[in-house]
Structure 1
Amino acid sequence: MRGDPGSRERHGEPHRVVVLAIDEVVGYDLSIPPQIFGAAKRGERDLYDVRVCGVDRRPVRVESGYTAVLDHGPEALEDAQTVIVPGTRARGPRVDGVLTPEIAEALARIPPGARIMSICTGAFVLAAAGLLDGRRAATHWAHVDAFRRLHPRVELDEDVLFVDDGDVLTSAGLGAGVDLCLHVVRSDHGTAVSNLAARSCVVPPWREGGQSQFIERPLPETGEGSTAATQEWASRRLADPLDVAALAEHASMSVRTFSRRFRAETGLPPGAWLIQQRVSHARQLLETTSLPVDRVAAEAGLGSAASLRAHLNAAIGVSPLAYRRTFTPPAGTTR
């Protein structure tokens, strides 16, 4: 990830996030970053300073039939540490695969080292700027054919919720933008802060970026035939030797039926979901406790320190000790 998300915070200043609204902006996408990052606090202290700007000082048309008057012009980008481009239906990037001069001039104001993100079809803007060439990226599944036609050099993954490629992060549509913003808060400040932000916004606290966009029943029914009760049961017993057969037995289903219904409700196979939950719990323990790494692995149901190391490295590319150091304040400071 380019830059240091915590650098301003260490100097007593919140991290500066600037949302660039382009004409025909998707209103839902535009509202996500101010809500999520605005809810990220440590005590009463804001961790992010979120500003919304346009490519000029004029009001911005919203694709759903109204106009937004923004507080800032493109000069706000010059002090940005993170820039977020919401989805847009602007013809230049969306249809022709090119930037208008106004959009190009606005993007040129972004300082070197800034983290750059897109939500939904905002990826078309980043791709038209050449920022996604040779990189993995995500966008809304309904627009993948047009995206591939316009930007064949981008490694588009049509199935995932979001892609974290270090200094450039992209998400699928709408709700996946919430997932991406919470992922960034979690990466910057840990599980406790991101969970509080999610609770404040009344949204699920965490979905893995690699989870499928294609979920048949995103909100599981709690009645007969649902796996929701088993998900809750398993999430409280991650240290136990659970496997798919144990989950199916709890749900009173055959393994085949349970696996099919579980994937329909969560977008993941049961085994992958278990690993995801265990890695998430291990991360929280590493952030919030001083337990030895082998004990963290056991508490999370991952068995050994070596297993935890392998799974954590696969998920986020760091070792348990390196991850813990990220969330350990230097001596003499408080977080």
Structure 2
Amino acid sequence: MRAGVLLAVGIPALIASLAVATAIGPADLSPGDVAEVVRARLGFGDTGLSRIAQGIVWDLRLPRTLLAAVCGAGLAVCGAVLQSVLRNPLADPFLLGISAGASTGAVAVVVLGLGVGTLGLTAGAFLGAAVAFGVVVALAAVAGGGPGRVVLAGVAATQLFSAVTSYVVITSADAEQTRGVLFWLLGSLSRARWGDVGVAAAVCAVAIAVCLARANDLDAFAFGADAAASLGVAVRPLRATLLGVTALLTATLVAVAGAIGFVGLVLPHAARLLVGPGHRAALPVTALLGALLLVWVDTLARTAAAPLEVPAGVVTALVGVPAFAVLLARRRAAV
């Protein structure tokens, strides 16, 4: 019931946030203007706004705010699933090296010319994410396994793939590519286009649907792999499926927005504090919180130091670290 109330309040709040965030900027626009442009573009009437204003809304700001919402929802859900499957509250795509591996694959595509377009970037990012996660699993197995070992292996993999990315950029990219790639690696939505929104939204919707369909099985993982197996869960196939889904979603989001950290780490804990640990309620609330957070983080990133733009990943780190400290303090107090 609590999750239903939160979703009933949060979904209209997200729609309003999209309209307000799209209107914010140097151009003199209002949320009503944004709604008017969207209505006209969908074929429901005309708009009295100039073509320049319409272009600002439809071609520049709206794709960016929508992509921010999709990325926030997807990264938050990835963090929630990884924390459950690995039984580690610190698991998220950023800390486990998946984002770093995806970044390496995407940068290789851009700098070395191994592919073109969003699909080429996504394929390169997915390959890099898969390799990175394989490295993490291998390192954790060598170290004896366990949740803590997985996080340590993820930190090591992050450093490894960050070094590989830096090497590729330094040795193969020109000055303009280097500036663009380094800015993108910090997490940036400045190049958002409708094609990026479509690809990211489709992958995110499928991934979240798959995770929701296995919500009860994810609940069983809270008792450990052996207990889940005794409850009738096919542990290995399910784990492989969910890890593959999160890797694909992470790769897609890194390909269109760069490496944005802390969303997948903090938001699942916040959702569990609000609605409890059950994934059927926690996953939708986690996605909603992630979408709301990244919409406003990106708005702050592009306006706080205008005309300069701060990478979204920088803002999420500045917001995420204090928020995570508060969450840790609350969990300790609860214990």
Question: Could you tell me the TM-score, scaled by structure 2's length?
Answer: 0.30
Task: Name the structure, 1 or 2, with higher relative contact order (CA <8 Å, separation 6+).
Answer: 2
Say which structure is richer in strand: 1
Say which structure is richer in helix: 2
